[in-house]
Amino acid sequence: NADMVLWPIQYLYAENKQELLYAKLEEDTQKIVLFLKESGFEDTEMSSAAPAIVDKMAQGYGSGENIKYRYSGVQTLTLYTSKVEQARKAMREIAKLGKSGVTFRNNSYENKTEFIFTKLNNIKPDMIEEATQNARSSALKFAQDSKSSLGKIKRANQGQFSIVARDKFTPHIKKIRVVSTIEYYLND
């Protein structure tokens, strides 16, 4: 299981008066912060970026006609926590804030929630031991099939560890893999 989560929460608003846009984004920020605190998170687990505001009248294209709202803004509040299950629960419940007027932006490619596994060093020795045992079993089979006996390790390479989501529906569950290359001497 992942032991950290990085959850960027994006919300947006459009308005004709810039000061009202900033006020609404600040109000939504406070609602989200309160929701996260009520969900058991601390201020130290949250960070907020400056809003990205677009003035559609200042664009170099179009005449500005038929623009319903001159300004649009997107804000991101990020939760970075080791409370993975609490975060998953909050993710399921955050839509409640929509009833209070917060408009969320779907996870865009650059702002996807990330589930992270940080404890690779804790499991590395056991994984390498298992890989070595598996390599020895395979080498023994090669030796038997060639009517040889298995000698000592000639060369070993730990290989690269990979950590990926088990599947696209459970990114909080990780699949960790190491490919080790071990060469043995065969004795005739």
What tens digit of pLDDT does each residue of 7-53 get? Answer: 999 999 999 999 999 999 999 999 999 999 999 999 999 999 999 99
| Chain center to CA of 93 | 19
Helix (H, G, I), strand (E, B) or coil at 179: coil
Give the dihedral of Cα atoms 79, 166, 122, 39; nearest 10 deg.
30
Predicted pLDDT of residue 61: 66
pTM of the predicted structure, to 2 decimals: 0.79
Residue 2 has pLDDT above 70, yes or no: yes
3-state helix, strand, coil in the chain (%, to 5): 40, 30, 30
Q: What is the mean pLDDT of the chain?
A: 90
Is 83 in contact with 55 (CB distance < 8 Å)? Answer: no
Block residue for tokens 């080790």: 180
Mind listing the pLDDT tens digit for each residue in 89-128? 999 999 899 899 999 987 677 788 999 999 998 998 888 8
Structural tokens at position 107: 């996870």
Return d(Cα 179, Cα 162) in angstroms, integer: 9
Give the dihedral of Cα atoms 97, 102, 103, 107; nearest 10 deg.
-60
Task: Kindly report the backbone phi and psi dihedral angles of residue 56, in degrees, each rounded to the nearest multiple of 5, phi listed first.
Answer: -70, -20
Longest dimension (CA), the chain: 87
Among residues 178, 8, 174, 157, the alpha carbon closest in space to that of 77 is found at 8
Return d(Cα 36, Cα 148) in angstroms, integer: 64
